[in-house]
Amino acid sequence: MNDMTQEDLAVKIGVIRQTILAIEKGKYVPSLDLGFKIARFFEVNIEEVFVYDDEQEIIRPD
């Protein structure tokens, strides 16, 4: 997105490239603070950074 590398984005939001890679692969959920930095950088709503999938987590009453 925006014609930049993972390294470019990492530098601009203050993390390492591996953090961006892990987020993209779904292996790491960014903190709320980092999520807001990403949302502000891309000028999108925070909901576009954090997508909740209620199908993955099923909570059953005891």
pLDDT at 2 > cutoff 80? no
pLDDT at 44 over 90: yes
58 assigned to some structural domain:
no
Cβ–Cβ < 8 Å for 18, 33: no
Q: Which comes out higher in pLDDT, residue 35 or 2?
A: 35
Q: What is the pTM of this model?
A: 0.74
Mean pLDDT of the chain: 86
Cβ neighbours of 6 (radius 10 Å): 16
Asked, for residue 33, whether it belongs to a domain, the answer is: yes
**Count of structural domains, the chain:** 1
**Amino acid 50: pLDDT:** 84
State the residue range of the domain holding 37: 6-46
pLDDT, tens only, 13-36: 999 999 999 999 989 989 999 999
Residue in this structure with the two tokens 């490239």, named with its chain if needed: 17
